Amino acid sequence: MLSLSLVIPTFNEAENIQPLLLQLSSLLDHALPDRYELIVVDDDSPDHTWALAAELQPKLPMLTVLRRQSDRGLATAVVYGWQQAQGEILGVIDGDLQHPPETLLALLETMQAGTDLAVASRNVTGGGVSDWSLWRRFGSRGAQLLGLLVLPEVLGRVSDPMSGYFMVRRSALDLNRLQPRGYKILLEVIAKGRIRHIQEVGFVFRERSQGESKVTSREYWDYLRHLLQLRLQRWESSRFLKFIGVGATGVIVDSLVLYLLHDSSQLGLPLLLSKFIAAEVAIFNNFMLNDAWTFRDLAKGSQKRYWSRRFLKFNLICSLGIFLNLLILSLLVEGLKLHYLPSNWVAIAVVTLWNFWLNRKLTWVG
Ligand code: GDD
Ligand code: MN
């Protein structure tokens, strides 16, 4: 297996692609002789960047040129290239010489030392931008700050989340699950990958000497949409939020059954008996939803047969939760003389955590 697959996304980089490929191959021929590949993913550039890259193939046997006609976009081009790659380490570098090729060696070194993701950063020692206007620096920092607000657990992990120059271990990614939008492939990698350890390496973002940037206002919109998409996906995949959602349906079921059984216009059964049945029906409702949705992955397989056992445990934990709820409520109201409404919210919050964690540990084990 190859060590490194480096993807170079290009769109109209006719003047840059050949000098870049020659620099990359001479660096990597030293560092990783015969153990790397270069993959140019060109989106059918009108200036024929793909043809210019392919011209070098006789001289550079480790070079693959993919001319993509089906789609456009930097981030999807990178994923497309990685999907055809052979290497154990997947990397990306811009095709316009703004990313200094020498930084590759430092990135490679940190990867070989065992990190999962090595990011070339403008914001650590040795990093920077050439001569950006105050306005541009401000815009770049603003975008980063906004991202930090929306997705702190992703953007907070690196000093330069906008970087498009990095390497990641293939085993940390599920390439078919990446659905990036716009320019920011690194966000997608951190959000979806199994990235335990990240290392950053400083680099100076050079000025472009040939060709022009493809960034338009559309890329800013794509960035915003990408942030929101990731936020929603992460919520969707968050067990705890699902559990809370299921809990909310339980409150509705409980109220409905209580009304039907106890209300004088309905069956008019005694309050405690009605509430007992209502709570049991709600617990059953919550169990079925949690089993099929929240903890679906843990409930499937051969364990599926033991659903009655899971239901029993769930029932027990939730019933104890009801007692805990009463206990906390009376402690706060009688003991601490607090108002009963905020006291009830505290009790509900504690019992929700109790229900979630105990069921996670005992009912849906894994
Ligand atoms: N295949 C493909 N398709 N490549 C593209 C496309 C596209 O639609 N759009 C841009 N590229 C290529 C360019 O040819 C270049 O090699 C690289 O992607 C970066 O594009 P630029 O337009 O030069 O972007 P930039 O210099 O403003 O952005 C750089 O800095 C950002 C951080 O500020 C890139 O490195 C980004 O990845 C980085 O996030
Ligand atoms: Mn550029």
Q: What is the DSSP string of 215-280?
A: --HHHHHHHHHHHHHHHHHHHHT-HHHHHHHHHHHHHHHHHHHHHHHH-TTTT---HHHHHHHHHH
Is the per-residue pLDDT at 206 higher than 90? Answer: yes
Supply the pLDDT for residue 304: 64
Ligand of minimum distance to the alpha carbon of 140? 1
User: Are 68 and 44 contacting, i.e. CB atoms less than 8 angstroms apart?
Assistant: yes
pLDDT tens digits for 263-315?
999 999 999 899 999 999 999 999 999 999 999 888 876 566 788 999 999 99
User: For all residues of the chain together, what is the average pLDDT?
Assistant: 93
Q: Which atom of ligand 1 is nearest to the CA of 160?
A: 32
Ligand 1 centroid distance, CA of 263 (Å): 66
Residue whose CA is at the smallest distance from ligand 1 atom 29: 164
Reported as half-sphere exposure (CB side, CA atoms, 13 A), residue 280 has a value of 8
Q: What percent of the chain has pLDDT over 90?
A: 79
Number of Cβ atoms within 10 Å of the Cβ of 6? 26
Q: What is the largest CA-CA distance in the chain?
A: 89
Number of Cβ atoms within 10 Å of the Cβ of 354? 17
Ligand 2 centroid distance, CA of 140 (Å): 14
Q: What is residue 44's DSSP assignment?
A: -
Q: Which residue has the tokens 């022009």?
A: 212
Ligand of minimum distance to the alpha carbon of 8? 1
- Three-state SS for 169? strand
Ligand 2 centroid distance, CA of 109 (Å): 25
Query: Distance between alpha carbon 8 and the CA centroid of its chain, in Å?
Result: 23
Ligand 2 centroid distance, CA of 113 (Å): 29
Instruction: Kindly state the average pLDDT of the residues 181-207.
Output: 95
Ligand 2 centroid distance, CA of 208 (Å): 6
Q: What percent of the chain has pLDDT over 70?
A: 98
Q: Is the CB of 185 under 6 A from ligand 1?
A: no
Apex 55 CA angle, 50 and 61, nearest 5: 105
Q: Is the CB of 119 under 6 A from ligand 1?
A: no
Which residues are within 8 A (CB) of 291 and not within 5 positions of it... i.e. 6 or more apart? 299, 307, 310, 364
Strand residues in the chain grouped as ranges (E): 4-10, 36-42, 63-67, 89-92, 117-121, 128-129, 166-169, 198-202, 204-205
| Pocket mutation for ligand 1, best pick of 6, 7, 8, 11 (most atoms within 8 Å of C-beta) | 11
Q: Which atom of ligand 1 is nearest to the CA of 186?
A: 39
Amino acid found at 154: V
Q: Where along the chain do its domains lie? A: 2-233, 235-363
Ligand 2 centroid distance, CA of 42 (Å): 15
Ligand 1 centroid distance, CA of 176 (Å): 22
CATH fold for the domain made of 2-233: Spore Coat Polysaccharide Biosynthesis Protein SpsA; Chain A (3.90.550)
| pLDDT confidence tier of residue 341, bands split at 50, 70 and 90 | confident
Q: Which atom of ligand 1 is nearest to the CA of 184?
A: 39
Ligand 2 centroid distance, CA of 156 (Å): 24
Q: Is the CB of 206 under 6 A from ligand 1?
A: no
pLDDT tens digits for 23-61?
999 999 999 999 999 999 999 999 999 999 999 999 999
Ligand of minimum distance to the alpha carbon of 98? 2
Residue whose CA is at the smallest distance from ligand 1 atom 19: 94
Residue 193's nearest CA partner among 122, 118, 86 is: 118
Query: Distance between alpha carbon 195 and the CA centroid of its chain, in Å?
Result: 10
pLDDT tens digits for 322-339?
999 999 999 999 999 999
- Three-state SS for 160? coil
Q: Is the CB of 164 under 6 A from ligand 1?
A: yes
Instruction: Please tell me the distance from the alpha carbon of residue 286 to that of residue 351, in angstroms, as a whole number.
Output: 15
Residue 354's nearest CA partner among 227, 262, 238, 240 is: 240
Residue whose CA is at the smallest distance from ligand 1 atom 14: 10
Apex 5 CA angle, 95 and 120, nearest 5: 60
User: Are 2 and 88 contacting, i.e. CB atoms less than 8 angstroms apart?
Assistant: yes
Instruction: Please tell me the distance from the alpha carbon of residue 155 to that of residue 110, in angstroms, as a whole number.
Output: 20
